[in-house]
């Protein structure tokens, strides 16, 4: 049973990673700088997504933006939990602090629980010195040198929103994984779609379509090939309302179910 729970947790994590974290990471700002960055950050914003396959609920993702400090830092939090299941309870909470000027990660905490098993990870990144201090359940205060700025899943979403106005461009981004650096290709298309959004009682929101692909490796769940389509509100808030991840027999969808944000025109 323990092995089955760990496998289910890895499966759920990969679904989320394919849906959110696969989108944009370690953005090449030399490339993006020619495009207009959207100032989407709003303290107190909360986005709640349902992860599902067809009518099967897989879990819930909650993303919260905290305080935006005068020293150029923004705090944020992401929580994932599996759908109610008598045989499995898995959840992960990430607590982050980002540099607001380039949306790279400064401090990171991750707390994961699968059944009775728990794991914790911590890191602090010094952007000026390019050093990373890392701790987990097995090692403490490991220092790594010459580390380039990086992201986690929530930072990836932030970058996707910030650069969603790069219309008509295709960029190759880099993602850092356990197996090394992997490329992510994202096309910011000129295509639009009016999407029904459960968070707004199925009101239609005008969205811009982003299409991309990444290398998920041989262990990708459900035959996922790394292809995804994201629907981001075509406005200053740049809210991702849906992300579809292609698998062998359809797609896994992350759908915006609830939102707390002031002044979003789409919600009015």
Q: Going residue by residue through the chain, which has 268 residues, state the pLDDT in tens, using 9 for 90 and above.
A: 444 444 444 444 444 444 443 333 333 333 444 467 899 999 999 999 998 888 888 899 999 999 999 888 999 999 999 877 666 678 999 999 999 988 888 999 999 998 888 999 999 999 999 998 999 999 999 998 988 888 777 887 888 888 888 888 877 666 655 555 567 777 888 899 999 999 999 999 999 998 877 766 655 555 567 788 989 999 999 999 998 888 777 788 899 999 999 999 888 7
pLDDT given at position 48: 97
> In the prediction, which pLDDT does 50 show?
94
Residue 213 buriedness (CB in 10 A; 0-12 / 13-18 / 19+): middle
CA angle 124, 130, 132 (to 5 degrees): 30
Report d(CA 77, CA 230) in Å as an integer. Answer: 21
Cβ neighbors of 52 (< 8 A, separation 6 or more) are 58, 252, 253, 255
* pLDDT score, position 71: 83
For residue 146, give both structure tokens: 């010459």
**Tokens standing for residue 191:** 């295509």
CA–CA dist 110, 13 (Å, integer):
13
Nearest to 253 by CA among 242, 265, 264: 242
Q: Could you tell me the residue range of the domain that residue 124 belongs to?
A: 2-267
User: What is the model's pLDDT at position 170?
Assistant: 77
pTM: 0.82
Nearest to 36 by CA among 169, 202, 182, 126: 169
* Whole-number pLDDT of residue 179: 59
Residue where the block lists tokens 């991840």: 245
Number of domains in the chain: 1
> Do the beta carbons of residue 124 and residue 106 sit within 8 Å?
yes
What is d(CA 256, CA 199) in angstroms, rounded to the nearest whole number? 6
Write down the pLDDT at residue 141: 96
**What are the C-alpha distances in Å from 132 to residues 13, 73, 103, 119, 142?**
24, 17, 17, 20, 8
Output the pLDDT for position 103: 87
User: Are 213 and 226 spatial neighbours (Cβ–Cβ below 8 Å)?
Assistant: yes
Q: How far is CA 226 from CA 176, 178, 184, in A?
A: 15, 17, 9
Separation of CA 86 from chain center? 27
The pLDDT assigned to 183 comes to 72
pLDDT at 143: 94
What is d(CA 217, CA 244) in angstroms, rounded to the nearest whole number? 19
How far is Cα 190 from Cα 179, in angstroms, rounded to an integer?
A: 34
Count Cβ atoms within 10 A of the Cβ of residue 151 and give its class: 0-12 exposed, 13-18 middle, 19 or more buried: buried
Q: What is the pLDDT of residue 151?
A: 78
């Amino acid at each position: 049973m323990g092995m089955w729970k760990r496998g289910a947790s890895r499966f759920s994590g990969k679904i989320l990673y394919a849906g959110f974290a696969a989108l944009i990471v370690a953005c090449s700002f030399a490339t993006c700088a020619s495009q207009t960055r959207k100032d989407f950050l709003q303290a107190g914003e909360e986005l709640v997504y349902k992860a599902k396959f067809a009518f099967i609920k897989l879990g819930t993702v909650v993303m919260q933006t905290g305080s935006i400090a005068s020293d150029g830092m923004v705090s944020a939090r992401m929580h994932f939990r599996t759908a109610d299941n008598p045989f499995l309870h898995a959840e992960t909470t990430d607590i982050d602090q980002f540099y607001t000027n380039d949306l790279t990660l400064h401090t990171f905490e991750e707390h994961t629980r699968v059944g009775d098993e728990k794991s914790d990870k911590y890191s602090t990144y010094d952007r000026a010195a390019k050093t990373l201090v890392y701790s987990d359940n097995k090692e403490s205060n490991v220092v790594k040198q010459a580390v380039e700025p990086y992201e986690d899943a929530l930072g990836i979403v932030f970058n996707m929103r910030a650069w969603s106005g790069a219309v008509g461009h295709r960029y190759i981004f880099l993602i850092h994984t356990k197996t090394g650096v992997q490329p992510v290709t994202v096309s910011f298309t000129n295509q639009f779609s009016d999407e029904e959004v459960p968070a707004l009682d199925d009101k239609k929101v005008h969205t811009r379509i982003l299409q991309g692909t990444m290398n998920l490796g041989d262990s990708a769940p459900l035959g996922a090939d790394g292809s995804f389509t994201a629907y981001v509100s075509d406005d200053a808030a740049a809210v991702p309302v849906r992300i579809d991840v292609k698998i062998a027999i359809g797609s896994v969808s992350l759908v915006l179910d609830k939102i707390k944000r002031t002044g979003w025109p789409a919600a009015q």
